[in-house]
Chain A
Amino acid sequence: MSLTQADVRRIARLARLQVNDTEVAEVEQKLNGILGLIEQLQAIDTEGVEPMSHARDVALRLREDVATETNRRAAFQAVAPAVEDGLYLVPKVIE
């Protein structure tokens, strides 16, 4: 199967990545190349094969429910693009 430019725009929207009108044709061509490469998986018989989601089949640990981190808000917010009164600033989302 092959992607159209409309598909590329839809995927870009899902990924929150702007792809403008001058870029979309090349992105379409490159992504179709990549999809062509991964398409060969379809020919492999994987009937009854358990998916391997992780390099080692280990169970995740649980830890004691206690605080382990100290409050470093100022240090972490120092690298943020816009903060005020300890809050991260973003454009208005509710009118």
Chain B
Amino acid sequence: MTYTLKQAADLLAAGKTSAVELASDYLARIEGAQGALNAFITVDRELTLAMARKADASRAAGNAGLLTGVPIAHKDIFCAEGWKTTCGSKMLEHFVSPYDAGVVERCTAAGLVTLGRTNMDEFAMGSSNENSAYGAVRNPWDRDAVPGGSSGGSAAAVAARLAPAATATDTGGSIRQPAAFCGVTGLKPTYGVVSRYGMVAYASSLDQGGPIAQTAEDCALMLNVMAGHDVRDSTSLEMAKEDYSRDLNQPLKGLRIGMPREYFGAGLAADVAAAIESALAEYRKLGAEVVEISLPRTELAIPAYYVIAPAEASSNLSRFDGVRYGHRAAEYTDLNDMYEKSRAEGFGWEVKRRILTGAYVLSHGYYDAYYLKAQKVRRLLSEDFQAGFGQCDVIAAPAAPTVAWNLGEKGDDPIAMYLADIYTLGVNLAGLPGIAHPVGFGANGRPVGLQLIGNYFSEARLLNAAHQFQQATDWHTRAPAL
């Protein structure tokens, strides 16, 4: 038996199950699916059961919160004390974190039990989860397909019902695209809503944590735990505590959904377009109005992102020097040789390409031409979104141009992979919130996701829209056969 986050919480509250029983059941499911899906990098039964026993004890003592004892999985990018935190990299193969990330701290304080650490593209760089040093994750709907990336393990785990929910991160689509590919619901909050403290940094002006779950309601419950000000993250926003589930039951009558024509032109696969058309028809039935809008510079999101993200990555990843933590080469002649060999051995090729691209665009003589130029284009893209929100409340878009592609299909071709990010990158560059939720199936029975983009701090509205859609449809209840 598997549950949504809400169902598990209700069963625990009613005394019909215990945290230990839930954790044991899910650990058995994880173990059974690991060979086929490879969704987890680390599972530690003793650590999990210790957390579950603690949750049961606090419930027995009358100290349970809403989610005390509910099990979840963490993306292997969030540092968690006592857990191996590899970030999908050989560089951190033996790194057992000495401290908790802000997100992990909040989840633990809420009584959530950690089932394990989900697989991911190395340092969150990738759109297929094939860049993990611990092997690719397989899509639970079709094991020949990728699960999407970089949070492919989190999305696959939730889709295969190996965890009711999972944490994830989104720098250029890494929550929304894998959620779409795996037929689950994922929310990328407004930049600064979720603390980045202890979340291994990729591109700091874009990185944002968020939840992946079966339902929008569960995403709201998870965001209630994950969001909040953290003084240890200088970009964490100081804002009043919000209940992200407050508007779930609001009717959608009068909601204006903008359809940017640039997102629905050539390049969008027919099966994805058809599923999205049906979803928008459903939204109309729920009382929403669909209006055409324009985001004229959409295509520039790709070059702008692939300058800014590598530039920030090359700076962030300079911390992996084989001195304070991480891999150190066995043999070297001097300090520079140690740095160069340790990093060459510890990083995979996609990470190396982004570091080198970043080092180049930041180097003397090229900074203005690339990095500064990309930041100016970023402002133009952001202004386009604001103009769009003048005509609508939320923007509807595909999460990706196609359904999940085959493992190995894009081979070692970074450009083919980058181009597939076209519909998600703009949201990160502008810092906006976005949600992806399942709306049907395309070719080969692979899921299609719809992305809804909101203006700053409109998470509750996005969750409301997706929840109302999920009250009227059952795509989110479909689960793959294991």
Contacts and interface: CB of A to CB of B under 8 A. Distances in A.
Contacts of A38: 303, 306-307, 361, 370, 374
Nearest to A53: B375
Interface string B369-392: 110111111111010000000000
B324 interface: yes
A14 B363 contact: yes
B360 A16 contact: no
Contacts, number: 173
A44 interface: yes
A53 B191 CA distance: 13
Contact of A55 (B206, B323, B324, B343): B206
A7 B379 CA distance: 31
Looking at chain B's contact residues, the main secondary structure is: helix
B321 A16 contact: yes
A17 B237 contact: no
B303 A61 contact: no
B191 A55 contact: yes
Contacts of B369: 42
B376 A46 contact: yes
Contacts of A88: 323-324
B341 interface: yes
Interface stretch (B5-13, B45-53, B349-357): B349-357
A41 B344 contact: no
Given A14-B359, A52-B375, A52-B382, A37 B302 contact: yes
Contacts of A15: 314, 318, 343, 355-356, 358-359
Given A31-B356, A52-B378, A93-B335, A17 B414 contact: no
Looking at chain A's contact residues, the main secondary structure is: loop
B470 interface: no
A11 B124 CA distance: 23
B303 A41 contact: yes
B456 A82 contact: no
A82 B418 CA distance: 38
B356 A60 contact: no
Contacts of A3: 360
Interface in A21-72: 27, 30-31, 33-35, 37-42, 44, 46, 49-56, 58, 60-61, 63, 72
Contacts of A14: 359, 363
B9 to A, nearest CB: 32
B98 A51 contact: no
A49 B352 CA distance: 32
A18 B300 contact: no
Nearest to A61: B234
Nearest 7 CB-CB pairs, A to B? A55-B431, A51-B375, A55-B191, A46-B376, A81-B328, A18-B344, A52-B379
10 contacts: A18-B344, A20-B344, A35-B357, A49-B380, A55-B192, A55-B430, A76-B324, A81-B327, A81-B328, A91-B337
Given A18-B340, A41-B304, A93-B334, 13 more contacts: A11-B360, A15-B314, A15-B358, A31-B356, A31-B357, A35-B360, A37-B302, A41-B303, A46-B376, A51-B379, A55-B206, A79-B94, A79-B95
